[in-house]
Structure 1
């Protein structure tokens, strides 16, 4: 890998207009007062890195559930999947990954499966690290059915700063594990609802890498050594 590739990451096309806006504002700030211009340059660089979209190496072993987001595991608890997905009233293990404004915000599918239900719901913009953000905030929920018939729910949740959830898939699409399916602008959270009886292999506070970090193993059941 060249040294340049360590610092210069590919940028998602969604970020181009925002970087352009930041750059123009920086030029205006230079005309007003040079120190303000340099602050603008710093914010422009931050905006570029916010929309970075690096390649990831997704594990290929069958049965693995991969983190859909970069960030920190903020919650692990039983919870009922969003009602709009129609997955029933029984609680499933929910793993929440909180993304700060410094994380890469491109979201990736945790498993390979058919997108059988896609449901967007407007809502509030509470701090995404709070538990009630799962029920109160703007969200986009995906129900994925794997080849063995089991299902996983993935929910994009807007945060305190985020105001725009994006997704690029539609119902009926097949999504590969690690494949990009969406993005949330400027701070947010991803919830994953694991199939019944599948334990998470991560802990609260653990750093996650979208498309790479193993979140669970579908071959394990609660009580197995892992």
Structure 2
């Protein structure tokens, strides 16, 4: 396992913060044993939490020409037909994956193809499971067209804790299935909008792994 590049700054800042509060305790409160031990334990826990959040575990990815692979780790919270008004402006099959702070937060391309549309939206930081988060939170929208002509839209959505969405794609790029297209810091969600009639292999509340779990199949 390695540490993702998006974590370098956060880890450096957390180390600086830990150093400062430990120095203050040692200098000002050295005679209060319980406080010193509390700060030691807090510092260790904070460092472990930051490290695990930015972990980049080694994986054997699942690939297939007509397969749709889960773009993120997390739990399936939505599988439903819905109206998609930003790009398609018609009915689509929506699948949403909620990423808690303990999940790996790397986002991966669910299919290979060409990026036909990309847009970043600044916005609010509603809880990621709130239905309004899809249209009101900070988010990105990416549409990739499969070589058979089927377009798949996927959307990074910031959560209540997230304050930064990172993306690595732009319109016109050729992307490869399971390669990274972005990263979301702390709790968040990824929505996928598929053509109606797409076969979905997931169930509600199922735990999935980005780049590994097969979400469905394009016809």
Gaps of 5+ in 2: 26-35
Tell me what 1:192 maps to: 192
- The answer on 1:18 being equivalent to 2:10 is yes
- What SS does structure 1 have at the residue aligned with 2:126? coil
Check whether the contact 2:63–2:178 (CA below 8 A) recurs between aligned residues: no
Tell me what 2:47 maps to: 44
Check whether the contact 2:71–2:178 (CA below 8 A) recurs between aligned residues: yes
- The answer on 1:64 being equivalent to 2:56 is no
More strand by share: 2
- Between 1:130-139 and 1:103-112, the stretch displaced more is 130-139
- Deviation for aligned residue 1:151: 0.4
Larger Rg: 2
Q: CA RMSD in A?
A: 1.3
TM-score (norm 2): 0.91
- What SS does structure 1 have at the residue aligned with 2:2? coil
Tell me what 2:33 maps to: none
Tell me what 1:77 maps to: 80
Tell me how far apart the structure 2 counterparts of residues 69 and 130 of structure 1 sit (CA, whole Å). 18
- 5 Å-filtered alignment, 1:1-226, equals 9-31=1-23, 32=25, 33-83=36-86, 86-87=87-88, 89-219=89-219
Tell me what 2:29 maps to: none
Tell me how far apart the structure 1 counterparts of residues 186 and 82 of structure 2 sit (CA, whole Å). 26
Gaps of 5+ in 1: 1-8, 220-226
- Deviation for aligned residue 1:138: 1.1
Tell me how far apart the structure 2 counterparts of residues 19 and 153 of structure 1 sit (CA, whole Å). 32
